[in-house]
A and B are shown apart, each in its own frame.
Chain A
Amino acid sequence: MHLRRFFLAAAAVTPLLGLMAKGAQADPISAGDAQAFIASAGQQMAGIVNGPGTQQSRAEALRTLVNQIVAVSQVGDYVLGRYINIATAAQHTQFQDLFHQLLAYNITYQIKAYQGVSFTVNGTKPQGGDVVVDTTVSTPGHPPADVGWVVEEIGGKPQIIDVIVAGTSLRITTRNDYSSVITDNGGNVSALLSAMRNQIQKLSANS
């Protein structure tokens, strides 16, 4: 039974892999502001995914929105984790560039899976110094998923820094994924950059 629950968590989390991180200059945000932000962001996302236009144009619009509402660069730094101290300045810049590219390709690759998506905001709860906005995300042909959006105020505006599904954190999952590549290659950040480039090639061939 627990395996089924685990996989359902994976189902909800996976399409968003590659998005999340902890903001460097984060300020507390009120529960009301966080909830209003996620309600608005959810409506915009559903509007784009279910809206008119080609898959390419909708993916482009979604990428623009994601860059506005998600702290992508901070997410990247979180995902790099302790290896941020090992990477050279050039490697760090390359990593951030590849991370943004991978995010774009992942959105394009997965937009079809979200056709017909709808969001319901259920409430908020504190988590450390952050606010988690609880939502139910429904997509046709799949069981509804309870998804928590962790929100912080970064640079004066609310930003998503993590997504939590059935207790699984997207930013932790992604960091574990990436750090595994580095540790399996003797601690070389260049191996991660190489794997990211290969992944981009693979996704671009399929998009």
Chain B
Amino acid sequence: MSKSGRGRFGARKMMLVVPGVVLMTGLSACASAPPKTDVADYQAYEAVNDPLEPTNREFYKVNDTLDTYVMKPVAEGYVDVTNQTIRNHVGDFVSNIGEPARTVNFILEGMPRDACVSLMRFIVNSSFGIGGIFDLAKHMHLPETDTDFGITLAIWGLPAGPYLYLPVFGPSGARDVWNLPYEYFATPMELAPASAALSDFGYAETGLHLINTRAELLDTIDQIKATALDPYATFRSLYRQSRASEVVQVYEAEGRTPPTWAMPPSN
């Protein structure tokens, strides 16, 4: 096995192990639930569904430090040498690499229309869009609809489960964490034969994705930290709502009415 092949095999194993390790680590420190006799408090505890909150908050602090001293300065430098147009094209390019994984997810979800649109997007953008740098498909009435394996599991009926805040990866959940190994295996680079060049490209693409995404968020994260009383709880709320909304969007893009369980609360 080549050096790059060993590296990728190691990464494969790591991706499979991550969800299990995260879940096990989280069990080491659990928030104590209020007694069931305190009905309102207990219901609120259940609604938050963050029994691993003490551990999650520790990971949040770790990520926050990592972000302050590494990601944010790098993203600021990246913004200094790029403009919004370039960053949009980088975003389109990275999004295009993830399109095959979305196509497979749409098939698994039983959404043939979404799957066809996704496949067409990949073909059009990879060819006429020069490897996905240009999102020409959206001008051809082939809009992007987001999905991932976490959403597939949701559509299969798996509940979101407890909230998880992962080191490096950030907000997730007991269901959504399984998207990590899925996305890793479902990228085009991973399906191709192993080579050093391909591995380097994969690392570069991942790095670019992270930096480009962080650059889009420079003001946002500053604003959340400045205005939210509890940024951790704010991120948790935004994540949960955003994920619920993505399930609804998958149904709507398919032309189907979302089931009641997928609809956000009206209050």
Contacts and interface: CB of A to CB of B under 8 A. Distances in A.
Contact of B150 (A2, A7, A179, A206): A2
A5 B146 contact: yes
Interface string A1-39: 111111111110111011000100000000000000000
Interface in B247-267: 248-249, 264-267
Interface stretch (A47-55, A62-70, A167-175): A167-175
A143 interface: yes
A176 interface: yes
A169 B241 contact: yes
Contacts of B233: 176-177, 179-181
B223 interface: yes
B238 A106 contact: no
A10 B220 contact: yes
Interface of A: 1-11, 13-15, 17-18, 22, 82, 106, 109-110, 113, 127-128, 140-143, 166-169, 172-173, 176-181, 183-184, 187, 192, 195-196, 199, 202-203, 206
Nearest to A22: B267
A9 B228 contact: no
Nearest to B241: A168
Nearest to A203: B226
Given A141-B84, A166-B242, A172-B265, A106 B227 contact: yes
Interface stretch (B65-73, B108-116, B211-219): B211-219
Contact of A187 (B41, B228, B242): B41
Nearest to A4: B213
Q: Which 6 A-B pairs have the closest CB atoms?
A: A167-B245, A180-B233, A176-B237, A11-B220, A168-B241, A6-B242
Contacts of B224: 10, 14, 17
Nearest to B88: A143
Given A11-B216, A14-B220, A177 B230 contact: yes
A143 B95 CA distance: 15
Given A5-B146, A82-B40, A172-B237, A167 B244 contact: yes
